[in-house]
Structure 1
Amino acid sequence: MAWLVAGGYGMLAQDVCAELTARGVGFDAPDRDRLDITSPEEIEAFFEEMKPEVVVNCAAYTAVDPAEENEGLAFTLNAVAPQYLARAAAKRGIPLVQISTDYVFSGTSPIPYAEDDAAHPLGAYGRTKAAGEWAVRADHPSSYIVRTAWLYGAGGPCFPKTLARVLKQNGTANVVDDQHGQPTWTKDVARIIVDLVTKQAPFGIYHATSEGEATWYDFTRAIAAEVGVSEDEVHPVSTKDFPRPAPRPEWSLLAHGAYEGTGVEPIGPWQERWKLAAPSVLAEVE
């Protein structure tokens, strides 16, 4: 089986490729020089040559704040390009996995968002990702929408690396304590993606986030413990103290009910997963 992993040099895509390698599954993860997913002609030519049996789209415009001023570009990458991939996959009858985000929701729910809750994005990034979900499902019903959030991993810049450097350099950090989410390791999301396809789970929407709940302040305290800084040196502040161009969901918890009966195991508690992930994620932090 040959998998096409679009956006193959991104943090999540690197772990998808590692998961496929560990399972002995063949794949290709082209960069933009080899496959421009905003070009339907290039996609068609690439599919004809490679003949993929599964497509995973990890490519996206993920710069949340710049998206407010560059919504057109974000829409092209997050909605139009996934639609082109979906059409090419549907034409050949092969499954597509589209990666999405908690930002499709408003962040005002008092309980974790279910997979079938209505999208209500607050900003440009969320709008374009919600549009991508709709486009993929409209053109290719045999697809998986995998929403994730608060991602970290060894293969790219992420919150734990940034805060670990701040803590090591300054010995202290001020971090927001009024945004709630589920810190999630890209290696766990990669396992979910591959399991959904290989176990032939029903097509639809799945939430690939860790169990539990944390604020960025909570997560930073856990990061501090891994780099030898006292957790007491992490200080809670309000989102209002760090104004940003794009609104952040206050509540990003996602429910995991769709896994029931699929044979795919949800991701475990975020604290346990972080303890396992920390050595590799923070390996190059100085």
Structure 2
Amino acid sequence: MAVGQNFNVDFRISGLTGALGDSLSGFDLTVLFDSKVLQLTGFSFIDSNGANQLDLAEAASFGFLGDAKVSGNLIDVFGLSGNSALVLDSAQTDAFRFLSLNFKALAPSAGAVVKLDTVDLDMLFIDSGAGYLPISFDNEGLEIAIGQNTQVPEPGTLLLLLAALPALLLARRRGAAALVLSAGLVATVPASAKQPAPAQASKDASAPAAKAGDAVNGQILEIKGQRAQIRLSNGSVQWVSLDAPVGNLLVGAKISGKLVQGGDTLRLTNISISN
């Protein structure tokens, strides 16, 4: 990784069964990092499908509460679902990313460390019944080497590096669930190497615009709140509304779904997002 490049640290949980009380309803954790060589630039509670698994559709839900705050070399992160136990146990998926932290490399380092504070007495993982999810640690963190190389790989190359990065595995003492902390790189191209904006948003003038009822797929070009600009597979570029807000970390990802009419705009439903 080069100075100036961004990367993600993703927190995932897997092995949930959907049985009574076997779902994640909240967490409170502290992440340690070296603020001299790394800078937290963003965070997200959205999973790879563009949804927050702790903020599921429910009329009686009081909504999701979550935040990440930096203090020196510490990041205090919490998330709390407003969903009922019934909805969490029945609708929450068995494996998902519940947190993603985005960092920028500020200076060279032989091994920039990002790890959980395992001695934090306030660290919590809460099930849908407001009980504790006990965890044990196979590894406590990961290290990423940062060099002075100013040549940034293409996005596709960066994605190939995911499997080579170390991971932090937290295994629950009961059941088969596990929490995984892994690092993923995000391409950041220097301004001098970027294509002009019109070229990025250009489209095939002969390509027809998608309409309500169409099943579409393409690539996310830009995200503004709950709207996304998508380059469709036929070459056209359109803005659509999404069922749920997604983070800017998903710019460049592949997206598919079905368009429906939502007032004056087209809304994308049945969304699937992948790298």
Please report the TM-score for the alignment, with normalisation by the length of structure 1. Answer: 0.29
- Greater percentage in helix: 1
- Greater percentage in strand: 2
Larger Rg belongs to: 2
